[in-house]
Structure formats: C-alpha cells, structure tokens
Amino acid sequence: MMGFYAIALTCMFLSIFFLSFAMRTMSVGVSYAIWTAVGSILTLIISRIFYKEMFKPLKIVGVMMILTGIIGLELAGGL
C-alpha cells in the first residue's frame, strides 16, 4: 500500500514541477488549462485500463472538446 502512496506523491511532485517549467514559456492561463486537461484525460485513460470503465460517445466528445479548447487557447496566443 505504501508503494501506491510513493507513486502518487512522486507524480504530484512531477506534475507541479512540469507545470512550473511550462509557465516559463506560456501564459498562466494556457499552461494551467493544459495541466488540468492532461490530468483529466490521464484519469480517464487510467479508469479505462484498471477499472474497465467504458468510453461512451458523449465522453469521447467531451475529451475532444477539451483538446480543441486547449489548441484554441494556444493558437490565440497573447489575446
């Protein structure tokens, strides 16, 4: 059980580290949007792998909308 805690804490630390690294070249809003979207998408993928959760069409559409929003934010740049 302690192994799971160690993995979780390591992933949390790396997540914050990479967020701070991304904020050096991106605006705070875009980097935070990407950070939260990646977390959401990875959680969805992990739930599919470990808990056999089904991908319903509406879920896939939602993930695609998140990705489209992030791409739009990045393309908008400094607007």
Neighbours of 31 (CB within 10 A): 20
Q: Which two tokens stand for residue 7?
A: 């993995």
Domain limits of the chain? 2-76
Is residue 66's pLDDT more than 80? yes
Is residue 78's pLDDT more than 60? no
CA atoms of 44 and 55, how far apart (whole Å): 9
Supply φ then ψ for residue 44, to 5 degrees.
-65, -45
Section 17-38 average pLDDT:
86
The model's pLDDT over 33-61, given as tens digits with 9 standing for 90+, comes to 888 888 888 888 888 998 998 888 998 89
C-alpha closest to that of 72 among 40, 56, 25, 64: 64
CA atoms of 66 and 38, how far apart (whole Å): 10
